[in-house]
Chains A and B, each alone.
Chain A
Amino acid sequence: MNSLYDKVKKNLIWKSVFRRDYRDTARNRAMAIFGNVFLHLHPVRVRESAVKLRYTWGMGGITFLAFIILTITGVVLMFYYHPTVDLAYLDMKDLEFQAPYGVISRNLHRWAAHFMVIVVMIHMFRVFMTGSYKAPRQFNWGIGVILLVLTFLLSFTGYLLPWDQLGFWAITVGTNMGAATPLIGYQGPFSEFLHITPYNDIRFALLGGAQVGGNALLRSYIWHCIAIPLISVILMFVHFWRVRKDGGISRPQH
């Protein structure tokens, strides 16, 4: 038994992968954090309040987890999806009836998306309730608000992709509000001064047309799968980095 243990653990490959053993020493605890690219987002030691569930509710972390789940399931779904009017809906049907793990992937993606919106709102509520936006974390709160908006937009752009009645009309209703933007929406106040029509207003820019159609589907797809996730990831890193640089999880001052 011991020789087997030695054979497995005392060789070049094992050692190249695992830099430390499993003994619970102060050094190993520290090594676990800064030796791991994922964990080293954390400081080696944190204030106890950061560990208490009753304080943070874990909401920020859960939001990030939801984002990761959405990324993974989203990539799976992208394999089966064509963002065209002819195929999008049929791809949904095939996802349900033919693709391996298609049903569970799509369900997870949809429900994780709703869940992320809920969780991100509760996260904001928690941060407000603990006054965590106060100095020195004012800027990070601002980033958070933008991330909240991006979360809404991620969900919103994803709504159209199945190309069913639900998504189609939700997007129609949503973008019709855009048409009422003052100055740059054709139904908005003062738009006549800029000669704004349904064909050159903000809604046209959003949809790539005067109606929800093939272009809107493609735009939704690209915003949903590439542009907004990219922006979100960048801002998330700023957000996380600032959490640490602004002194970790907020706590009462002496």
Chain B
Amino acid sequence: MNPFIEIITQPDNIAIVIMIVMVTFFTIWGFQQAFQNDKLKASGYAVDGELDQDVDTFKPLVRIELIISLVVVLFLSIWSIAVDAPLEEIANPTITPNPAKAPWYFLGLQELLVYFDPWLAGVVLPTLIVVGLMAIPYIDINPKGNGYYTFAERKYAVIIFAFGFFILWLLLIVIGVFDRGPGWLWYWPWEEWDHQRVVFEPTRDLTQVIGIESRSIPGFIIGAIVVIGYYVAGMLLPLRHWRKNNPELLAQLGMIRYNLIMFLFVTMMSVPIKMVLRLVFLVKYVWITPWFNV
């Protein structure tokens, strides 16, 4: 069978295909409404729903709920009749499948393991994601765009969220499901997996690029400077920029909020930066300490 068909028709992967279809559909629908509302606002009209009246819950809402329930139950039933839940061989601790993949919704994190040590990819980053998500209402002080789809009124918030949601979360999941084969090596979905394939990628640490041993004291110091410098610069540069151009915003945010936003943002951006370093420059670690490596 064609490897592409084979991989997307694996029972568990059908869920991913469904996810891709659904996410694409709702993304388009959401942004379409956002742009429509932006247009309405720009022309001075009320946005969708602004002029709505109250209606009886019974039956309009109840009926819609029942219709959706029926659709969902039908959909799941047909799915369940068409595709059997997978059951592989009995668990055997002595046979490690290659690749051993986590459940699909955690494959984004497993993918991060390529770029970060497990304590970062598996623990620190997920924790920050949850904390960051919960912090959103408290750090997003933009009062506009509450209760309707909009893009123009909250550009930065939407772009940053979309980046995190689509690229760092969903895309990494899709890569993990479809593009990772034995040895966690990259395979296009139409490529045949080759269990014998060995890819030798000589990786190095950042300081080794400029000729300094990363496990030496100078290497340690330079690494520390780079990492800490990245955070300091990432948090100071926007501060300077806004002080000059938009001091009111800064005043509204306050120091605590500003620091929280920028810390989370800089951390988030460290993920694609590290990915580029690893994939393009073959850099494994930036900073090596006796206790952990970054």
Binary CB contact string for chain B from 18 to 41 against chain A (1 if under 8 A, 0 otherwise) = 110011001101100110000000
Which of A3-11, A36-44, A225-233, A234-242 contacts the other chain?
A: A36-44
Least CB distance, B113 to chain A, in whole angstroms = 8
Say yes or no: A29 contacts B89, CB within 8 Å.
Answer: no
The CA of A250 and the CA of B119, in the complex, are separated in Å by 39
Instruction: Answer whether residue B121 sits at the interface, using C-beta atoms and an 8 A cutoff.
Output: yes
Within 8 A of A (CB), among B51-82: 52-62, 64-65, 68-69, 72-73, 76-77, 79-81
Say yes or no: B95 contacts A165, CB within 8 Å.
Answer: yes
Instruction: Answer whether residue A245 sits at the interface, using C-beta atoms and an 8 A cutoff.
Output: no
Indicate the member of B61, B84, B89, B104 with the most A CB atoms within 10 Å: B61
Instruction: Answer whether residue A180 sits at the interface, using C-beta atoms and an 8 A cutoff.
Output: yes
Say yes or no: A118 contacts B22, CB within 8 Å.
Answer: yes
Give how many B residues have a beta carbon under 8 Å from the other chain's beta carbons.
91
Least CB distance, B70 to chain A, in whole angstroms = 10
- Which residues of chain B come closer than 8 Å to A44, judged between CB atoms? 56-58
Partner of A96, one of B52, B76, B87: B87
Chain B interface mostly: helix
Say yes or no: B84 contacts A48, CB within 8 Å.
Answer: no
- Which residues of chain A come closer than 8 Å to B26, judged between CB atoms? 57, 122, 125-126
Say yes or no: A48 contacts B52, CB within 8 Å.
Answer: yes
Chain A interface mostly: helix
Instruction: Answer whether residue A32 sits at the interface, using C-beta atoms and an 8 A cutoff.
Output: yes
- Which residues of chain B come closer than 8 Å to A166, judged between CB atoms? 12, 86-88
Least CB distance, A155 to chain B, in whole angstroms = 6
Say yes or no: A180 contacts B84, CB within 8 Å.
Answer: no
Say yes or no: A108 contacts B49, CB within 8 Å.
Answer: no
Binary CB contact string for chain A from 4 to 38 against chain B (1 if under 8 A, 0 otherwise) = 00000000000000000000001001101100000
- Which residues of chain B come closer than 8 Å to A85, judged between CB atoms? 91
Least CB distance, A122 to chain B, in whole angstroms = 5
Say yes or no: B87 contacts A48, CB within 8 Å.
Answer: no
Least CB distance, B12 to chain A, in whole angstroms = 8
- Which residues of chain B come closer than 8 Å to A215, judged between CB atoms? none
Known: A47-B52, A96-B87. A118 touches B147 (CB 8 A): no
Partner of A107, one of B56, B85, B122, B161: B85
Least CB distance, B206 to chain A, in whole angstroms = 19
Say yes or no: A187 contacts B119, CB within 8 Å.
Answer: yes
The CA of A222 and the CA of B44, in the complex, are separated in Å by 56
- Which residues of chain B come closer than 8 Å to A119, judged between CB atoms? 22
Partner of A173, one of B93, B102, B124: B102
Chain B residue at minimal CB-CB distance from A112:
B76
Least CB distance, B14 to chain A, in whole angstroms = 8
The CA of A195 and the CA of B89, in the complex, are separated in Å by 37
- Which residues of chain A come closer than 8 Å to B136, judged between CB atoms? 128, 133, 141
- Which residues of chain B come closer than 8 Å to A109, judged between CB atoms? 85
Chain A residue at minimal CB-CB distance from B15:
A114
Least CB distance, A250 to chain B, in whole angstroms = 4
Instruction: Answer whether residue B5 sits at the interface, using C-beta atoms and an 8 A cutoff.
Output: no
Interface size class of A (residues with CB under 8 A): 35 or more
Say yes or no: A129 contacts B30, CB within 8 Å.
Answer: yes
Instruction: Answer whether residue A74 sits at the interface, using C-beta atoms and an 8 A cutoff.
Output: no
- Which residues of chain A come closer than 8 Å to B150, judged between CB atoms? 131
Say yes or no: B57 contacts A42, CB within 8 Å.
Answer: yes
- Which residues of chain A come closer than 8 Å to B254, judged between CB atoms? none
Known: A176-B118, A177-B123, A252-B47. A182 touches B292 (CB 8 A): yes
- Which residues of chain A come closer than 8 Å to B121, judged between CB atoms? 177
- Which residues of chain A come closer than 8 Å to B122, judged between CB atoms? 176-178, 180-181
Say yes or no: B137 contacts A141, CB within 8 Å.
Answer: yes
Say yes or no: B80 contacts A46, CB within 8 Å.
Answer: no
Say yes or no: B54 contacts A45, CB within 8 Å.
Answer: yes
Binary CB contact string for chain B from 80 to 117 against chain A (1 if under 8 A, 0 otherwise) = 11011111111111011100111111100110010001
18 A-B interface contacts by CB (under 8 A): A33-B57, A42-B57, A48-B49, A48-B52, A55-B48, A66-B72, A104-B81, A107-B81, A107-B83, A107-B84, A111-B85, A114-B12, A128-B161, A134-B146, A174-B106, A187-B119, A253-B147, A254-B50
A contacts, CB < 8 Å to B: 26, 29-30, 32-33, 39, 42-55, 57-58, 61-62, 65-66, 69, 85, 89, 92-93, 96, 103-104, 106-112, 114-115, 117-119, 121-122, 124-126, 128-135, 137-139, 141-142, 145-146, 148-149, 152, 155-156, 159, 162-170, 172-174, 176-182, 185, 187-190, 211-212, 250-254
